Structure 1
Amino acid sequence: MADSQVVEASPPRRRWRPSLFVQVLIGIGLGILTGLLFPDFGKLLSPLGEGFIKLIKMVVAPLIFLVIVTGIAKVGSMKALGVIGVKALAWFTVATMSALVLGLVVANVVQPGSGLNVDPATLNTSALEEKTKGGQLPGAVPFIMDIIPTSVFSAFAENSLLQVLLFAILFGVALAALHSSAPPVLMEVIDQTLHVIFKIVGYVMYLAPIGAFGAMAATVGNYGAGSLASFGMLVLAAYGAAVVFIVILAVVVRLITGVSAWKFVRYCRDEFMLALGTGSSEAVMPRIITKLNRAGCDRAVVGLVVPTGYSFNLDGAAIYLSLAMLFLAQAVGVDLSLGQQIVILGILMLSSKGMAGVPGSAFVALSATAAAVNAFPVAAVALLLGADRLMDSMRVFTNLLGNCMATFVVARWEGLLDRDQMKAALDGRLSEEELADVDEVIPEGVDVGSTPVTGATPAKTEGEHA
C-alpha cells in the first residue's frame, strides 16, 4: 500500500520581496551615493525619474474621471457635490492662509537672509528666465475660463486636472440623473475600466525604485552638498516652519475627525517615500486615492478633494513662498514694513491658487509679488535658484499630507467618513485580502472601499447623501 499513499501537496510558497517602501528607500540611497560620487553620471539619469512620473501622469486624467463618475453615481446630487466643493475650498483657503502667515512669522523671527548683503545687480538672471520660460500666473478671470476645456479631448490630452474634474462632475451627475433609463451595462463598463486603470498603475509602480533612483541621482548630481551649506539657514527655517505647520494641522484634524496624522503617514509610508524620492506628489496620486478610499473616505469626496487640492491646497509651497519673499528682502538689505508684508500675504494668497501647470511657478509667483510690492529688484529672485530644489522634499511632503488631511475633514463634515474602517486601516487591522488590494492597487473583482459601484448601485444609493 506504500505505493498508493497519497502525498498532500504543500501550498505554493509565496515569493518574498521587500516592500515598496524598502525598495524606494534603497533606490533613494543608491541615487544619493551615485550623485555624490559620480555627479556627471548622476545628471544623465534624470530621464529615469522623469519617465516614471510621465507614466503615472499618463493615467491620472482617466483615473480622476472614472473615480469621480463612479463616486457621483452614489451621491447623485449636484447640490451635495456643491456642498462638498464649497467646504473643501473653505478648508483650502484657511489652510493656505495659515501656511503663508506661518512662513512670514518664521522669517521675521529667524531672519534667514540677514547679513548676506547681496547686490542684485551682480546676479545672473538668464537662468531664472530659462526656468520660468516666460510664464506668467493667470489672472482671476483667465484662471476661471481656463477651467472650461476647449473640448473634452483637449482636457485629457493636456492632462488638465481641473478641466477633467469639471467634465467628470457633469458626466457623473448626468449619468446619475439618467440611471433609470441608462443600461446597467454602462456602469459596469465604467467600473471595470477603473479596475483596468488601477491595474496599469500597479504595473507602473514596479518601476518606482528605478524612478526614485534616477530622480535622486540627478538632483544630487546637479546641486550637490554645496547648496545646502550656502542656504543652510533658509533650509532650516523652511523645514522648521513645515514641522510646526504639520503639528498644528495634525492636532486640528485629530480634533475634527479623530484621524492620527502619524498613523496615516505610517499607513501611507510607501507613497510618502516615493513622493520624496521623485520630488512629485502627483506621482503617487493614484495610490493615495486608493488608500484614502480604503481608510474610510467616500469615493466621491476623495475624487473631488484630492485633484482640486493639487491646485488649491499647496500648503508646503505657501510656507516656502512667504518665507522666501522675506529672505530675499533681508538678503538685499531691505526692511519690509508690516503693511508691505500684509500686501505680500494677499498677493501670494491669490497667486498660489494659479501655480499648478506654470513652468517654474514658484519663481513666477515670487517675481510677480516682488514687482507688485516694488520694495526690492525682481532680479533678487535669481538668488533662490540654488536653494529651490532643496525645498522640494518639504513642499512635497507638506502638500501631500495637507491634501490627505483635507479629504478626511471634508468627509467627516459630510458624514461620509467610515470611522470604523478608518481605524482598522490606520491601526493595521485590515484583512489579508484588503492588504493585498492595497499592494496591488486594485485587482479585478475586488470592491473599492465603502462605496462600491456596480451596475445596480446607482438605483440603490441615488440621493442617499443628498
Structure 2
Amino acid sequence: MPIRRAGALLRTSLFTQVAVALLLGVLVGKVWPDGGAAVQWVSDGFIRLIKTMIAPLVFCVVVTGIAKAGDMRAFGRIGVKALVWFEVASTLALVLGLVAANLASPGAGMNVDPATLNPDAIDAKTGGGELASTSEFVLESLPTSFVGAFAENSILQVLVLACLTGAALLHLGPKVPAILPAVAQVETVVFTLVGYVMRLAPLAVFGASASLIGQYGLKVITTYGKLIAVCYLVGLLFLGLLAVALRLLTGVSLWHFVRYTRAELLLALGTASSESVMPRMMDKLRKAGCRDDAVGLVLPTGYSFNLDGASIYLSVGTLFVAQAVGVDLSLGQQVTVVLVLMLTSKGMAGVPGSAFLALSATASSLGVIPAGAVALLLGADRIMDSMRVVVNLLGNCVAVFVVSRWDGAFDLPLARRVLTPGTPETSGTPETSGTPWTAKSAESAESAESAESAESVTDESVTAESAGSSPDQAPAKTQAGG
C-alpha cells in the first residue's frame, strides 16, 4: 500500500516529480560525470520552449489588465510605485551583502597573485560583450518593429507595445469590440501551451542538475565554501526581511506563498532559470488576489530592475575579490561599490555573463582591483545561480503583492483563501483592495485550495493551473484575472 501511494504521488504531483528528478540528476552527475554533463541540452530545450511563451503572454496579460482597469493613469501609478520598491529592495540587498562580506571576510587569507589569473576567461564567459549605457538601455527598450520585439523576445519592448496597445483600446472603446476578447482567448491558448510544456519540467531539472554535478562536481563547494555560505546566508536573511515587510504591508505570509508555489520554486532552482516559471508565477499571482495589470507590469519589469539575488552576489563578490588579492577597501570605496552596482545591476537580464560585466565595471571604477581578478569567481558562479534565481524570483513576487496592495489592486480575502487552505470564509462582503470578488475568483480559490490540501496535481491540473481551464476547453474560455 505505501508503495502504491508513493507511485500515485509520483505520477500526479509536479513537486514530487521535480524533486525526484533533481535527486536523480545529482546521482547521475556524481556517478557518471561525462554522461551527466552531456544532458544539459534537455534543460536548455525546455527553457527555450518556455521562453517562446513569455512575450505573447506578457503582451496579452498587460493589454487585458489595462483594459479591465479602465484607467491608464492607474497603470502609470503602478509602474512608478514598482520602480520605487525595486530601488529600495535592490539597495537593501547590496548593503546587506557588503555588511556580511565585511563581517565574514570570505576572501581573506587567499593571497592570490592577480598575475596568475587569466583575464581572457572573463571574455570567454561574457562573449566579449558589455553592459549597455543608460541611453543605450533606454533605446533598446523601444521596439523598432512590432514583430521584431516578439522575434527577439525582448520583454521590455513587448511591455512598451502592450502599454501602447492597451491605451489605444481604452481610447477606442466600443469601436473595436472584438479585439479584447480575441486577446483574452490568445492568452488562454498560451497558458494551455505552457501547461503542456510544463510536463517536461522533471526532465529539464534532471538534465540541469546532472550537468552541473557532472561538470563541476562537489569539490567546488569545498573550494569556495565560505563564499557560497555567505551568499546563501545573506539570501536567507534578505528573504526573512522580505517576509516581515510582506506581512506588515499586505497581511500575506511569505511562507504560505512559498508552499503555494513550491513546485515552481523547485523548478527554478533546478534549472537555474527564473524565466522557466514566469508564466506559471503570473497565473498563480493572479489567482492569489493580485490584479492583472499589476501582475503583468511588475513581474516582467522586475526581471530587469529588481534582481535582488544578483545584487547580493555582486556586492559579496566584489569584496571577496578585493580580499583575495589583498586590497583593503575603505568605507568611501565601498559606498562607491554600492552606487556603481545600483546602476550596473539594472538591465542585466538576457546579457551573457552580465554578473561578470557588472563586477568588471565596478572593479574598474574603483581603480584598485585588477580587472583580471574577477576571474576568481568563475569556479563558483554556477553554484551561485540557485541562490540568485530563487531570491530574484521571490523578490519580484513580493514586489507584485506590495505594489498591488499599495495601489489598491489587491484582494486580501482571496489571497488568504488561496494561500491558506482550510481558512474559514470571511462572512459577508470581503474587504477587497481593488479586485472584485467574483464567481470566477472564488472558483479559482477553491480549485487552488483543493490542489494544495491534496499536495498533488494531476496531469490535467498541471495544464489547468497554468491555463485556467482544461486543454479541451481552452479555446472556448477566457482566463479570469485574479
In the other structure, the counterpart of 1:197 is: 190
In the other structure, the counterpart of 2:216 is: 223
Matched, 1:305 2:298: yes
SS at match of 1:386: helix
Matched, 1:125 2:119: yes
In the other structure, the counterpart of 1:188 is: 181
User: Matched residues in 2 for 1:325 and 1:103: separation?
Assistant: 10
Matched, 1:431 2:446: yes
In 2, are the aligned partners of 1:85 and 1:304 still within 8 Å (CA)? yes
Matched, 1:441 2:458: no
Q: Trace 1:386-397 onto structure 2 (pairs within 5 A).
A: 386-397=379-390
Which among 248, 256, 262 is matched to residue 255 of structure 2? 262
TM-score, with length taken from structure 2: 0.88
In the other structure, the counterpart of 1:464 is: none
Letter in 2 for 1:349: M
SS at match of 1:80: helix
Matched residue count: 436
Letter in 1 for 2:346: K
SS at match of 2:467: coil
Per-residue CA shift, 1:381-436, capped at 9, x if unaligned?
00100001111111111000000000000000111100111001101253248744
In the other structure, the counterpart of 2:265 is: 272
Q: CA deviation at 1:356?
A: 1.4
Q: Trace 1:337-356 onto structure 2 (pairs within 5 A).
A: 337-356=330-349
- Deviating more after overlay: 119-128 vs 233-242: 119-128
Q: Trace 1:6-85 onto structure 2 (pairs within 5 A).
A: 17-85=11-79
Letter in 2 for 1:439: E
Letter in 2 for 1:293: R
Structure of higher CA gyration radius: 1
In 2, are the aligned partners of 1:24 and 1:273 still within 8 Å (CA)? yes
Which among 162, 166, 188 is matched to residue 160 of structure 2? 166
User: Matched residues in 1 for 2:69 and 2:138: separation?
Assistant: 25
In the other structure, the counterpart of 1:214 is: 207
In 2, are the aligned partners of 1:149 and 1:163 still within 8 Å (CA)? yes
Letter in 2 for 1:106: A
In the other structure, the counterpart of 1:111 is: 105
User: Matched residues in 2 for 1:448 and 1:109: separation?
Assistant: 49
User: Matched residues in 2 for 1:379 and 1:147: separation?
Assistant: 31
In the other structure, the counterpart of 2:367 is: 374
User: Matched residues in 2 for 1:276 and 1:309: separation?
Assistant: 18
Letter in 1 for 2:336: V
Q: CA deviation at 1:439?
A: 3.3
Matched, 1:233 2:219: no
Q: CA deviation at 1:449?
A: 4.6
Q: CA deviation at 1:447?
A: 5.8
SS at match of 2:12: coil
Distance 1:52 1:150, change over 3 A: same
SS at match of 1:431: helix
In the other structure, the counterpart of 1:405 is: 398
Q: CA deviation at 1:64?
A: 0.3
SS at match of 1:354: coil
Per-residue CA shift, 1:345-401, capped at 9, x if unaligned?
100000000211211000010011101111110000001000011111111110000
In the other structure, the counterpart of 1:462 is: none
In the other structure, the counterpart of 2:130 is: 136
Gaps of 5+ in 1: 1-14, 452-466
SS at match of 1:180: helix
Q: CA deviation at 1:79?
A: 1.2
Q: CA deviation at 1:441?
A: 3.4
User: Matched residues in 2 for 1:446 and 1:64: separation?
Assistant: 18
SS at match of 2:199: helix
Q: CA deviation at 1:446?
A: 5.6
Q: CA deviation at 1:440?
A: 4.9
Q: CA deviation at 1:442?
A: 2.2
Distance 1:438 1:260, change over 3 A: farther
Letter in 2 for 1:46: Q
In 1, are the aligned partners of 2:322 and 2:369 still within 8 Å (CA)? yes
In 2, are the aligned partners of 1:71 and 1:298 still within 8 Å (CA)? yes
SS at match of 1:135: coil
In 2, are the aligned partners of 1:156 and 1:164 still within 8 Å (CA)? yes
Letter in 1 for 2:54: V
In 2, are the aligned partners of 1:293 and 1:448 still within 8 Å (CA)? no
Letter in 2 for 1:112: P
- Deviating more after overlay: 196-205 vs 67-76: 67-76
Matched, 1:320 2:313: yes
User: Matched residues in 2 for 1:250 and 1:303: separation?
Assistant: 22
In the other structure, the counterpart of 2:169 is: 175
User: Matched residues in 2 for 1:397 and 1:260: separation?
Assistant: 17
Identity %: 54
Instruction: Please provide the CA RMSD for this pair.
Output: 1.4
SS at match of 1:375: coil
Gaps of 5+ in 2: 1-7, 423-444, 452-460
User: Matched residues in 2 for 1:93 and 1:297: separation?
Assistant: 21
In 1, are the aligned partners of 2:283 and 2:465 still within 8 Å (CA)? no
In 1, are the aligned partners of 2:184 and 2:479 still within 8 Å (CA)? no
Letter in 1 for 2:317: A
Select the structure with the greater relative contact order (CA < 8 A; seq sep ≥ 6). Answer: 1
SS at match of 1:178: helix
Per-residue CA shift, 1:64-100, capped at 9, x if unaligned?
0001011111112221111000000000000000000
Letter in 1 for 2:403: V
User: Matched residues in 2 for 1:416 and 1:354: separation?
Assistant: 26
Matched, 1:422 2:415: yes
Q: CA deviation at 1:124?
A: 2.1
Q: CA deviation at 1:136?
A: 0.8
Distance 1:433 1:121, change over 3 A: closer
User: Matched residues in 1 for 2:22 and 2:169: separation?
Assistant: 44
In 2, are the aligned partners of 1:96 and 1:315 still within 8 Å (CA)? yes
